[in-house]
Chain A
Amino acid sequence: MGTILFELALIFYFAATVVSIIELFKDKKIISQLMLSLVAVGFVLHTSNIIYRYVAAGHIPITNFHESTSFFSWSIVLIFFILQFRYRVTILCSFVMPVVFVLMFSSSMLPQEIKPLSPVLRSYWLTIHTVVAFLGNAAFALAFGVGTMYLVQEHYVKSKHIGGIFGRLPSLQTLDALNYKLITLGFPLLTLAIITGSLWAESAWGSYWRWDPREVWSLTTWFIYAIILHARLVAGWRGKRAAILSIVGFLIILAAFFGIKVLRKGLHVFL
């Protein structure tokens, strides 16, 4: 049942991704609506899958790599819908759905069985730490999408050859403001994730910080986003530079997320 829901969500996300790419080239209201509907149905199925696993396992289903990748993409779609509701930047979907699909597809390749959770991890920290961490990362994922849109639009304006999707992308100022908002949303969440993580580590293993690879990567990304914010506030690093940094930041997050799994080392092996 859970697997079926997951597979269906994956299919809908796939369809939405294909439509979102078509949507870039064909500016038709009906295509945008189809795209949003596909994402919405996918999201409902995906949410059901997560609830199902929650009930089946008795704790938040972010305890293996399949689940965490899945939850990561779920968070991205969630924040996309919140943004869509507030700012109506439908075209952002075309820049974010490919990321969501890649994450979901990777998730589908991983073992999906629900295993009993090791006693070390049984803690309310599990829910707080993981949810906060993934929501933060999802905000950065959207900042990545918005940053890409910024670079595309910047290119149009700078090169003076307007055309393509120039007319449909929001203004540079809007994109820059959105990028900043997303980073100011993601940064405190990431900070909170690191704090709760170390508190949890202390209660589970007796020490706050052990320099395990994921901790190191988290700290690295924390510093990158701290630099982005600092540079903007102090040196006026906005616009293009902020966009590039937010793209680099998210690529590092992705590299860390998958890279550490490949290395299979450290305390976070379960993720």
Chain B
Amino acid sequence: MKIFVIGLNHNTADVEVREKVAFNGSRLEEGLKRFRELPEVEEAVILSTCNRVELYANVKDSVKASESIKTFLSEFHNINRALLDKALYTREDVNAVRHIFRVASSLDSMVVGEPQILGQLKEAFEIALEKKATGILLNKLMKKAISVAKRVRRDTRIAENAVSISFAAVELAKKIFTDLSEKVFMLLGAGEMAELAARHLMSNGVKEVIVANRSYERACDLAKEFNGKPVKLDNFLQEMVHSDIVICSTGAPHYILLKDQMQKVMKDRKQRPVFLIDISVPRNIDPKINDLDNVYLYNIDDLQGIVDANMFERKKEAERAEKIIEEEIGPFLKWLSSLDSVPTIVALREKAEEIKREEIEKLMNRFPDLDEKQRKAIEYMASAIINKLIHPATIALKEDPEDRDLMIAIIKKLYGIDEEEKEDT
């Protein structure tokens, strides 16, 4: 009985390899079934996301299992074995437990602290449960990993701050405005990054979208896509009067919005606050505009600065999270090693029950006249005797993890429990 992890992630494999190894949609169920049916694998879970593919298993022999899983992966995904070997990593026992806890807590993610991974892990576990691919070991491990991840999220601030530019922009917008869904948003120019930020902002819901672009056709295309209103770039100043959030990236080599222009806009909009995001390089909005009241201007470096600060914050929090994980590994390992003695305890009890049955039978044959009440009393006494006799041995097996192997050996010898019997139970 051994916890075993084999997988690849964004650090070990390029996207070309990851997408080949990914278990998409219905392939997951099929893959899980085949994986579980490998003779070396007793329990199975497959986690497949865009950044990682990992197979969790309960195996007897990790060397054999590793080999057979690799062959399975190579055949199933029709991928070159050498390529696969280079990308795959394996973990077993305590390292496997730590790895799964870290993955669940998003410490192993590309963006540390990103929250999706926990949901993905839950889903992977649910599918495995549904397909009855798991047993006592992985069930407990998955549940524990989920609870550890929740504790990490609750006790640290690992997932609190935005760590991408578009997230940071939305986070700021939410601290300037109460409700983004009643705000008008203008996309000024259409750089790739601006589009990304715009998409992200719009997924949070805005009231109206205006797209201004040097090429009016492009503005129309984008406006169609965002369900917005296209305007000519020359008219953008009029539109600014009722735009609350402006993302600017026109590619112009100079400022297209000057302080006195903005001052006029602010007067026209009765000083209602406006959030300007200038992600163009060179900058398109005069930085002095930030001095105006109720105007909040951020350029790409400002946003990057926030992202960096948040990243730093996350790293500190990640260290705390690692400590939490180490704390949680101990009790889990204890539970895990207590499983080692379960077969011996079961065998011991069976042995005792057998002796009891035999002796009672003998007694009954010798005294057939006993009435029901007397029989019950004798059986009760026999049970009490065996329970009291095996109780200390059971306790010794359950506790004391350090001497457990020795204890198991001694008890087997003392009571004449042999290996075969243990394996069978």
Report A's interface with B, CB cutoff 8 A: 153, 156-158, 160-163, 166-167, 169-174, 177, 235-241
Contact = CB atoms under 8 A, between A and B. Distances in A.
A166 B305 contact: no
Nearest to B296: A157
6 contacts: A160-B306, A167-B161, A173-B176, A177-B178, A236-B267, A239-B293
Contacts of B175: 153, 156-157, 162, 166, 169, 171-172
Given A166-B175, A172-B175, 19 more contacts: A157-B296, A158-B290, A160-B302, A160-B305, A161-B309, A162-B306, A163-B309, A163-B313, A167-B160, A171-B174, A171-B175, A173-B178, A174-B178, A235-B271, A236-B269, A236-B272, A237-B271, A238-B271, A239-B293
A172 B298 CA distance: 16
Nearest to A240: B293
Given A157-B172, A172-B176, A174-B178, A240 B294 contact: yes
B323 interface: no
Nearest to B183: A173
Given A237-B271, A241-B293, A160 B178 contact: no
Contacts of A239: 271, 273, 293-294
B177 interface: yes
A158 B175 CA distance: 12
A238 B177 contact: no
Nearest to A156: B175
Contacts of B271: 235-239
Contacts of A162: 172, 175, 306, 309
Contacts of B272: 236, 238
B270 interface: yes
Nearest to B309: A163
Contacts of A166: 175
Interface string B161-187: 100000000001011111000000000
Contacts of A169: 175
B80 to A, nearest CB: 48
A172 B183 CA distance: 14
Interface string B241-267: 000000000000000000000000001
A153 B174 CA distance: 12
Nearest to B162: A162
A-B pairs, 6 with minimum CB distance: A236-B271, A236-B270, A173-B178, A174-B178, A160-B302, A239-B294
Interface of B: 160-161, 172, 174-178, 267, 269-273, 290, 293-294, 296, 298, 302, 305-306, 309, 313
A229 to B, nearest CB: 14
Nearest to A157: B296
A171 B176 CA distance: 5
Contacts of B298: 160
A176 to B, nearest CB: 8
A157 B296 CA distance: 7
A105 B178 CA distance: 36
B294 A157 contact: no
Nearest to B303: A160
B306 A157 contact: no
Contacts of A172: 175-177, 273
A167 B309 CA distance: 14
A182 B393 CA distance: 73
Given A157-B175, A158-B290, A173 B273 contact: yes
Nearest to A242: B271
Given A236-B272, A241-B293, A171 B309 contact: no
A66 to B, nearest CB: 41
Contacts of A174: 178
A162 B270 CA distance: 27
A128 B289 CA distance: 49
B307 to A, nearest CB: 11
A158 B302 CA distance: 11
A190 B290 CA distance: 37
A232 B270 CA distance: 9
A267 B302 CA distance: 58
A139 B375 CA distance: 85
Contacts of B313: 163
A232 B267 CA distance: 12
B13 to A, nearest CB: 36
B161 to A, nearest CB: 7
A145 B267 CA distance: 28
A235 B177 CA distance: 21
A171 B296 contact: no
A244 B23 CA distance: 59
A241 B292 CA distance: 12
B318 to A, nearest CB: 18
A236 B294 CA distance: 11
A173 B293 contact: no
Given A171-B178, A172-B273, A238 B294 contact: yes
A160 B302 CA distance: 7
Contacts of A238: 270-273, 294
A165 to B, nearest CB: 11
Contacts of A156: 175
Nearest to A239: B294
A158 B297 CA distance: 8
A153 B273 CA distance: 14
A72 to B, nearest CB: 30
Nearest to B176: A172
B169 to A, nearest CB: 12
Contacts of A158: 290, 296
A236 B267 CA distance: 8
Nearest to A178: B178
Nearest to A237: B271
A177 B273 CA distance: 12
Nearest to A234: B270
A83 to B, nearest CB: 15
Contacts of A160: 298, 302, 305-306
Contacts of B302: 160
Contacts of B309: 161-163
A163 B309 CA distance: 9
A171 B177 contact: yes
A168 to B, nearest CB: 10
A167 B178 CA distance: 14
